[in-house]
A and B are shown apart, each in its own frame.
Chain A
């Protein structure tokens, strides 16, 4: 089991001070799958993502229990947390175009790792922006501010930025909240292509988005993982948990 899982969570629990955000989560994510996580607000989805790249260490009061295994190794066993984080790309709910130029946004991660060669960086900028389906719109203004792009463009910029790390895991946290439907569809197409090269964990507030994209999906509710299964089963199977059925059919949440 360990050998086939990209990410494995064993008895994961997350607390903020005395508040429990997530408890007793056991699941594993296979390489090159899109793993969807659905659930109403406050169900622990974001905290789940934050445990993977050890953001708990940067957050006052956040405590992670249990273990998170990346390729069979506990993420906390990584001596160099920055190397760990650079293998994991993150896309946030609200697009965070860093207040620097588009070019600088995309080259930030490699520059932090000491890559200075202009030609290498140029090539990387074009490749990442192309893969994030943004190149054609910004190729003539790479030196204008990334934070001045529209919401949908900024979100694709953050995807390009995440890709510049050449991650093997991509975490997306409700990426379509501030993005128009057309851009959402474009990003979804991008994700389907990226799946060939990396493992994608997709937290989403739109159950239909999970249905369109995810191979398998987990349903989180009130800090517990209610059910994990093939995405289609969560939407159609008769044997699914009644809570899952009510949620995906829109009866609460």
Chain B
């Protein structure tokens, strides 16, 4: 028997190709801005980079020297922010995924998370200034800035952690409960071990966002320039993101390569973190035991 094409068949086949091409083009277009940004940064900022650039202080009114204090400051901010947002966020996610029933309290919490995620970072900045710097009297400090960052990244950590836990199949929980395990034992022995990589992925993505944010730390603890390194959480600090803003806009005599060098270092930090999270995610998929 012969298969002959009707006009409708031909049209369907043509459309099939057309849409495939269309969607592929859109997807490929997505890669272009990333390539453009990276190539400009590498071309213009590459010459500024050297080992010394990372480990020396800015000198001569920030027109020369390196980014060491900003690099260290960003690590301070991230570390302190994480030590607050991870325990809080993961606990909240455990509650929402494992304990919460569908009632008004849960709905209020979910609404709060969605709204928190939608708050612009400049509003977080003003909130941090009002709440942590002034009301709680923390002053402009690493602590105040990190708390602001923590509040900002909480929704992300909660949502990704909750989703990672929800991805653990329910029959596992039921099997564990029928063995006489309590909810907490089930969480500890079944849910957390099988969602750990997913939670970690969420945390790293939160960190990579924290690294890049400028507005929230500008009013709450990050300084333009400091002649000394931070020693406690009560000190102010320099930070990569703000440093980039400063050398790009506030220091007219800076050589052109300097801001691009700072930008390149910043984006390298973020990309490294994102790569780490991708590695964790693929390991999670490969290690899936069900």
Q: Which residues of A contact B (CB under 8 A)?
A: 53, 55, 58, 60, 82-83, 85-86, 88-90, 92, 94, 96, 98-100, 108-109, 112-113, 145, 147-148, 158, 161-162, 165
Bound-state CA distance A73–B205 (Å) is 53
Given A99-B194, A112-B185, A147-B290, decide whether A90 and B178 contact each other with a Cβ distance below 8 A: yes
Most buried by A among B176, B180, B181, B185: B180
Residue of A nearest to B182 (CB): A82
Contacts of A89 in B (CB 8 A): 178
Contacts of A99 in B (CB 8 A): 172, 190, 193-194, 289-290
Contacts of A85 in B (CB 8 A): 177-180
- List B residues 137-180 near A (Cβ within 8 Å): 171-180
Contact at B101–A60, with CB atoms within 8 Å? yes
User: How far, in Å, is A51 (CB) from chain B's closest CB?
Assistant: 13
Contact at A109–B177, with CB atoms within 8 Å? no
**A-B pairs, 7 with minimum CB distance:** A86-B180, A99-B289, A90-B178, A109-B179, A96-B175, A85-B180, A96-B171
Contacts of B171 in A (CB 8 A): 92, 94, 96
Please pick, from A58, A60, A94, A145, the residue contacting B177 in the complex, using a CB distance under 8 A: A58
User: How far, in Å, is B198 (CB) from chain A's closest CB?
Assistant: 14
Please pick, from A58, A94, A112, A147, the residue contacting B180 in the complex, using a CB distance under 8 A: A112
- List B residues 245-290 near A (Cβ within 8 Å): 289-290
**Interchain Cβ contacts under 8 Å between A and B, 12 examples:** A58-B173, A58-B177, A82-B181, A94-B171, A98-B172, A98-B176, A99-B290, A100-B193, A109-B179, A113-B180, A145-B289, A162-B179
Interface size class of B (residues with CB under 8 A): 20 to 34
**Per-position 1/0 for B177-220, Cβ under 8 A of A:** 11111100100011001100000000000000000000000000
Bound-state CA distance A112–B182 (Å) is 9
Please pick, from B101, B181, B289, B290, the residue contacting A108 in the complex, using a CB distance under 8 A: B181
Contact at A161–B179, with CB atoms within 8 Å? yes
User: How far, in Å, is A107 (CB) from chain B's closest CB?
Assistant: 10
State the total of A-B contacts with C-beta under 8 angstroms: 68
User: How far, in Å, is B169 (CB) from chain A's closest CB?
Assistant: 8
Contacts of B289 in A (CB 8 A): 99, 145, 147-148
User: How far, in Å, is B290 (CB) from chain A's closest CB?
Assistant: 5
Contacts of A90 in B (CB 8 A): 175, 178
Contacts of A60 in B (CB 8 A): 101-102
Residue of B nearest to A113 (CB): B180
Residue of A nearest to B194 (CB): A99
Please pick, from A58, A88, A113, A148, the residue contacting B174 in the complex, using a CB distance under 8 A: A58
User: How far, in Å, is A47 (CB) from chain B's closest CB?
Assistant: 13
Most buried by A among B173, B175, B182, B194: B175
Contacts of A88 in B (CB 8 A): 178
Residue of B nearest to A171 (CB): B178
Please pick, from A53, A83, A147, A148, the residue contacting B178 in the complex, using a CB distance under 8 A: A53
Contact at A98–B177, with CB atoms within 8 Å? no
Residue of A nearest to B186 (CB): A112
Instruction: Given contact pairs A99-B289, A109-B180, A112-B185, enumerate 11 new A-B contacts (beta carbons under 8 Å).
Output: A60-B101, A82-B180, A85-B179, A88-B178, A90-B178, A98-B176, A99-B194, A108-B176, A112-B182, A113-B180, A165-B180
Contact at A112–B178, with CB atoms within 8 Å? no
Residue of A nearest to B287 (CB): A99
Contacts of B190 in A (CB 8 A): 98-99
